[in-house]
Structure 1
Amino acid sequence: MPVGHDAAVDHNAALRRVAATRYVTPFREGGSLPGLVEADDLGMYVLKFRGAGQGLKALVAEVVVGELARRLGFRVPEVVFVDLDPTLSKAEPDEEIQDLLNASGGVNLGFDYLPGSFDFTPRVRDPGAELAARLLWLDALVLNVDRSWRNPNMLLWHREVWLIDHGASLYFHHRWGPGWQPAPSYRYDAADHAMLPAAGSVVDADRELRPRVMPVLDEVLALVPDEWLVAEPTPGSAADTRAAYTAYFASRIERADQWVPALEETRAARV
């Protein structure tokens, strides 16, 4: 039986692993051409492909940011590893999708499909000042450049806001190598953030969330397969790469007194 959307996710357990049994349909609005698949647990999952143009780094960001968000109290669809047999492409008439399936044999990333959900925007429904500020803070922490009012990457399901699509976060890992060190500061422009007009105090959100990040980071990084962590470019071994992510988050948290006031200024100017 499928786990289902409301099942509790054990933060201390590894991500579940399922096997895709049927490719159902593509979601063409996504830049990486994700698809809906059925799996051997009878569940339906939105599949992000390892063979897509963004590569494995996007899947790493999905795991790290999505699972960190979950531990910080945000709603995120269950994340699972999905074994994909490229022979599923034989039943697909679209050549582009055939190529994507053939390039994605092995372990991919799936997200529990939320039937009946639809794109959420604060312009249609007020998310609440606290949630908006917390999400603005989180996206600044992880450098998520892909939650603008044009592309909110949020779903409304059962009257609750669910976060999706974090593959554009942690953009620094596309350029790192041996000896990498976190930069003293990172550019993050919140002016177009979808939650900015609705956000309350970012300072209050920072006070709540900042102490909760580092205590859960090791368990989040442990969820990422070693194979994905050594995809080029890389600082070295899987252990070296986990250490590099840890160094980034430690530095970003340590310097929050620099970027949180900037976020608050941007928010206050918009109100």
Structure 2
Amino acid sequence: MLTEVTATRYITPLREGGSLPGLVEADDLGTYVMKFTGAGQGRKTLVAEVVCGELARRLGLRVPGLVTIGLDPVIGLGEPDTQVQELLKSSGGLNLGMDFLSRAIGFDSLVHEVSPEEAGKVVWFDALVNNVDRSWRNPNMLFRDGDLWLIDHGATMIWHHNWPGTQASAAKPYDATDHALAPFGPDIPAAAAELGPRVTEDLLAEVTAAIPEEWLKDEPGFDSADALRQAYARPLLARAATIHERIRLQGGTSGTSGTSGTSNVSGIGIRKGTK
């Protein structure tokens, strides 16, 4: 279960995100990037953030700490931006907060170095959760004190927007040709060998248990929150075993394009513009 705090001050909107997250202070004196149930895809985006954030952390990847944030809509009465006012009014109750990473700067492939080992882990993880939002156009990664941090996992596990099509959607290859870390020669086989066996039923049960109950209520086709948690876990467990065979990288495809089941990542392009 995530720690729950209460928002005490809305500081400013962060307009880089399409869902208009905001920077808030909470009663634990922490500063958080807050994502709202009233924005975009609503609670499903927040569920994806929880599942991916907690799973990434347990696999040793750097992600901001997560909390749930109780929001009283009255906090937005003094906000001059009407769009922000409406967002706050529609998001009363429990929302999601991520630790604000002060001093962090956006990832730039021409400036920052990432080892093939770390790049492989990130690409493999993104393939596991089907993250379609880590391209060179919008990396959703930060650097702080020399370390790479992963952020913004709302555009993952697209099958949870159409549960009847989960099996077919989860079986598709992962196109990493535009991935922000593709030019760094990601070592996919090593990442799969290290991380794949760690994605177990027990681990996924622990991760999905962190999803707040109220974000799982009234989902069509499910008679309980536990049944829905299991639905989130099943495709991830299946993908963990074989997704490395279906990752498409520049110059080569792992798995489905050929008769061999071995990984073929030797055709990755050489990175240009290294400083």
Please state how far the C-alpha of 1:149 moved relative to its aligned partner. 0.5
The residue that corresponds to 1:66 in the other structure is 53
Q: TM-score, normalised by structure 1?
A: 0.89
8 Å contact kept, 1:21–1:39 = yes
RMSD: 1.8
The partner residue of 2:228 within 241, 245, 249 is: 241
Provide closer, same or farther for how the CA distance between residues 163 and 234 of structure 1 changes in structure 2, counting only shifts above 3 A.
farther
Provide closer, same or farther for how the CA distance between residues 34 and 145 of structure 1 changes in structure 2, counting only shifts above 3 A.
same
The partner residue of 1:194 within 176, 180, 192 is: 180
SS in structure 2 at match of 1:240: helix
Please state how far the C-alpha of 1:217 moved relative to its aligned partner. 1.1
Please state how far the C-alpha of 1:255 moved relative to its aligned partner. 3.2
Q: Distance in 2 between matches of 1:116 and 1:198?
A: 24
Aligned length: 256
List aligned pairs for 1:1-271, cutoff 5 A. 14-176=1-163, 182-183=167-168, 185-214=171-200, 215-230=202-217, 232-233=219-220, 235-256=222-243, 258-260=245-247, 262-263=253-254, 264-265=263-264, 268-271=267-270
8 Å contact kept, 2:160–2:166 = no
Residue segments in structure 2 that go unaligned for 5+ positions in a row: 255-262, 271-275
SS in structure 2 at match of 1:270: coil
Which range moved further: 235-244 or 104-113? 235-244
The residue that corresponds to 1:8 in the other structure is none
Q: Distance in 2 between matches of 1:266 and 1:102?
A: 49
SS in structure 1 at match of 2:137: coil
Q: TM-score, normalised by structure 2?
A: 0.87
Please state how far the C-alpha of 1:185 moved relative to its aligned partner. 1.4
| Amino acid corresponding to residue 22 of structure 1 in structure 2 | R
Provide closer, same or farther for how the CA distance between residues 267 and 92 of structure 1 changes in structure 2, counting only shifts above 3 A.
farther
Q: Distance in 2 between matches of 1:76 and 1:88?
A: 28
1:207-255 residue CA offsets vs partner (Å, 9 max, x unmatched)? 0110011141111000001221235455442111111112212221243
Please state how far the C-alpha of 1:181 moved relative to its aligned partner. 5.2
8 Å contact kept, 2:196–2:241 = no
Residue segments in structure 1 that go unaligned for 5+ positions in a row: 1-13
8 Å contact kept, 2:173–2:246 = no
SS in structure 2 at match of 1:150: coil
Q: Distance in 1 between matches of 2:24 and 2:50?
A: 19
8 Å contact kept, 1:230–1:236 = no
